[in-house]
Structure 1
Amino acid sequence: MRYITVTALSHPGLIRGHNEDSLVVGPWTLCGTVTENPQTLVFPLGQPLVVAVADGIGGQPAGDVASALTVRHLATLGPSLDSEDAVRDALTLCNRAVYAAADRDPALTAMGTTVAGTVVLPDALLVFNVGDSKVLETDGDGVRQVSVDDSPPLREGQRTTSLVTQAIGGATRFCAITPHVTTAPLAADSRYVVCTDGLTDPVLDDEIGELMRAHDGGRAAFELWKAAIEAGGPDNITLAVIGVVE
């Protein structure tokens, strides 16, 4: 029997005053809190399993509220996410829900979040994102980003940027989104990292690839978090490592 393992953690990092990241793994959500150790969940390969992170936009109100709303909607909708169109519709619903919440409470005006994740199907992987949180595929050959950053072009010598060109919410008036959604084969020899930029901004892809080749499961998630902390932990760090076991 094939099954899916998901090892996840969320941590505020070393600089931020609190955690505005949220996480969903199937029906389980973790919103704006801290996991002291990686948590591993195991699921049979069958009905759609959503695994996603949401990174509340800093410098604007209530990023933690926006990210929590987003992952809770995805948790509720997860079992129905069996196609690219279903994922697009779900993300559109998340966007409308964030704006609707802001309309009801002026203190939440312009709150927003990025989101990135996967839906694991029996024979395929749906990859999605809005904003600059990422989905990475790792195998013996290294690491490849399979999500699409919504970021402006980088200047020469610039490796990262905190700017995003679209998000879930994030504006004073409603803005529609165009989610990135693609389908990929579900490769048993690959693992996937779903993460906020608190991991990928301070830690180079090559180092992520090396750590994933050297470690499995909870140890892999811990070593990725440790690398971000040792690089200064400048932002909230939330990640999930997904594997398929034969």
Structure 2
Amino acid sequence: MRYVAVSALSHPGLLRERNEDSLVIGPWTLCATVTENPQTLVFPLGAPLVVAVADGLGGHPGGDVASALVVRRIAAIGPALADEAAVHDALNACNRAVYQAAGDDRGSELAAMGTTVAGAVVQPGSVLVFNVGDSRVFAAPRIGLRQVSLDDSPPPEPGRRTTSVVTQCLGGTRAYRAIHAHVTAVSLSPGDRYLICTDGLTDPLPTDVLDDVMRTHDDGRAAFELWKAAIAAGGPDNITLAVVRVADE
């Protein structure tokens, strides 16, 4: 019998007052929490299993509200996300839900709240990788880390490796704006691993560091060492990550 193991954690980092990231693993969610040790969950490989992170927009009130809304909605409908069309429909529905929740705030404090989202739907034989914004999904085979999500961000300024600007997200503006989610189907085999994370991990750490940690360590230890490396690099943002592995029992 094949199974899916997911090792994950979420932490505010060293500079942010609160954690505006959220995480979903199947029916399980973490929202605005602080963990320093990875939690590992194991599921049989069968019905669609969604693992995703959502990064509430910094500088906008309600980023934590938006990210939590999205992961909870994904958790509720995850088993139905069996194909690319269903994932597109789900993300469009999440976008509308964020705008509706922002509009319901009479004081307009949440009027421009928004969040990125990135994740994978794991099912027998295939993985549906999706994202809106700059949170990322990497395939992590032993031959080297490879990004399979597509960043919604402009090229960084000369001399800089990253940018904090996103060109689309769920919500994030006072007037409704439709999204064009990235959804890609890739084949799945036993032993495949994926890294799903917010930019609190990828901004301070170059890809070669992520690759080295994923090559060197197994799931839970890799998640811990990635978090530790981001903290050692200054922990400038919220850090949320999940290491996903498919294996035979």
What TM-score, normalized to structure 1?
0.98
Q: 2:17 aligned with 1:17, yes or no?
A: yes
Deviation at 1:116, TM superposition (A): 0.2
Alignment of 1:155-166 (within 5 A): 155-166=157-168
Amino acid at match of 1:187: S
| Alignment correspondent of 1:128 | 130
1:1-246 alignment runs, 5 A limit: 1-105=1-105, 106-246=108-248
Q: Which whole-Å CA distance do the structure 2 matches of 1:217 and 1:152 have between them?
A: 32
Please report the RMSD computed on the Cα atoms of aligned residues, expressed in angstroms.
0.8
Q: What residue identity is the alignment partner of 2:211?
A: G
- The structural deviation recorded for 1:122 is 0.6
Q: What is the CA distance between 1:91 and its match in structure 2? A: 0.3
Distance in structure 2 (CA, Å) of the matches to 1:38 and 1:189 = 20
Deviation at 1:37, TM superposition (A): 1.2
Q: In 1, distance between residues paired with 2:109 and 2:158?
A: 38
Give the unaligned 5+ runs of structure 1: none
Q: Deviations over 1:98-149 (max 9, x none)?
A: 0000110022100000000000011100000000000011111111100000
Q: CA deviation at 1:200?
A: 0.5
**CA drift at 1:185:** 0.6
Q: How far does the alpha carbon of each residue in 1:155-205 deviate from its partner, in whole angstroms, 9 at most, with x for none? A: 333210000000000001100000000000113233100000000011111
Unaligned runs of 5+ in 2: none
SS at match of 1:13: coil
Runs of 4+ in 1 over 4 A off after TM superposition: none
Between the aligned partners of 2:191 and 2:42, the Cα distance in structure 1 is 17
Contact 2:157 2:163 in 1 (8 A): no
Alpha-carbon separation, structure 2, partners of 1:55 and 1:221: 18
Kept after mapping to 1: 8 A contact 2:118/2:137: yes
Residues 187 and 204 (structure 1), Cα distance of their counterparts in 2 relative to 1, 3 Å cut: farther
Which one-letter code corresponds to 2:80 in the other structure? Answer: S
State the TM-score, normalizing by the size of structure 2.
0.97
Partners of 1:126 and 1:239 in 2: CA distance: 18
Shift of 1:213: 0.9
Structure 2 distance, partners of 1:72, 1:212, is 28
What secondary structure, in the 3-state scheme, does the structure 2 residue paired with 1:72 have? helix
* In structure 2, distance between residues paired with 1:169 and 1:133: 15
- Percent identity of equivalent pairs: 67
Letter in 2 for 1:221: A
Q: Number of residues paired by the alignment?
A: 246
- Report Cα offsets for 1:10-50 as digits up to 9, x if no partner: 00000000000000000000001111310000000000000
